[in-house]
Amino acid sequence: MLKVRHLLLLMMLVSPWTHAMKAIFWQPQLRDNTVSSPQWATLMQSLRGEGFDTLVLQWTQYGSAFADKSSSERLQQRATAAQAAGLKVIVGLNADPEFFTRQKQPAAALSHYLGRLRVADVQQAKRWTERADFHPDGWYLSAEVDDLNWRNPQAREQLLQWLGDTRQQLAQVGNKPVYISSFFAGHMTPASYAEMLTEIEQRGIGVWVQDGYGVKTLTPPQRRLYLDSAAGCQPSTPARGVVYELFQTQPGKTFSATSLAPEELKARLRQKPNCGKDRLYFSLRYLPLAKDLLER
């Protein structure tokens, strides 16, 4: 009986983040096809050697990109090579380039649109379970959740319904963890933002919060308030982890990102949540080991 008590105590003391991942995002681009298979295999092995344990494909179809059989198979070969190097692979599904515009539609149109997104994601997941030599370690929903468009209660309910239904249907294809990322820009209070993420987590979707370092929409103290509320160490903080941005944006209306200075990049790569939650970095093409392979 004493041994049982000791075992129960040990289980209570073990952090729920003991198996937290150290992941890198890869945002596939058609121009990445110039990387040969041996070069990609070496890159994946180098990632593993640097301590990364997971590769997150941000998407496996982006609009019409990667929709044809040839380019889709090439992506699957890349994912298989990553697993062969010892990395887990979380498969991003379908990405709509117009998502941030179309999510502003009236309720009826939005409901129809989100339904089509769910169908596209499930179809993409089915395609990625057909390959005998590759088994996804999780699913990633490429539609990012912001703190502006879902403040309205009706829109929020549509968001949660969509995510919950998508989680259930993906489980029927392959019962793997499902993740989505989120970003903040000061449109909600830190507490209300954390509340929204809690509601998403309750639908069975793990949330990774983007730290906002690269886009610099908010000041460092402002960003810290949101990160502490959404991804801090308190039991009430909902997020599974933090996405650390490895780039800096340039002034202008069109999004333009460049690499960080070497010392700044090294400091960013040392960033991790204090309580050992998932730590993810965006993105692969900004790492020095990918400099001569992946165009930026």
Average pLDDT for consecutive 10-residue bins of the chain (296 residues)? 40 49 97 96 98 98 96 96 98 97 95 98 97 95 97 96 98 97 98 98 98 95 97 92 92 71 95 92 96 86
The pLDDT of residue 2: 40
The pLDDT of residue 16: 42
Cα gap 62→70, rounded to integer Å: 15
The pLDDT of residue 251: 62
Cβ(123)–Cβ(115) under 8 Å?
Answer: no
The pLDDT of residue 11: 36
* Dihedral pair phi/psi, residue 245, rounded to 5°: -85, 125
The pLDDT of residue 19: 81
Cβ(63)–Cβ(34) under 8 Å?
Answer: no
User: Judging by beta carbons within 10 Å of its beta carbon (0-12, 13-18, 19+), is residue 195 exposed, middle or buried?
Assistant: middle
DSSP secondary structure of 273-293: -TT--EEEEE-GGGSGGGTTT
List CB contacts of 262: < 8 A, sequence separation 6 or more.
Answer: 288
The pLDDT of residue 259: 86
CATH architecture entry for 20-290: Alpha-Beta Barrel (3.20)
Cα gap 261→272, rounded to integer Å: 19
Cβ(187)–Cβ(148) under 8 Å?
Answer: yes
The pLDDT of residue 26: 98
DSSP secondary structure of the chain: -HHHHHHHHHHHHS-TTTT--EEEEE---GGGGGS-HHHHHHHHHHHHHTT--EEEES-SEETTBT-SHHHHHHHHHHHHHHHHTT-EEEEE-EE-TTHHHHTTS-HHHHHHHHHHHHHHHHHHHHHTTS-TT---SEEEEEEEE-SSTT-SHHHHHHHHHHHHHHHHHHHHH----EEEEE---SSS-HHHHHHHHHHHHTTT-EEEEE--TTT--S-HHHHHHHHHHHHSSSTT---SEEEEE-EEE-SSSS--EEEPPHHHHHHHHT---TT--EEEEE-GGGSGGGTTTS--
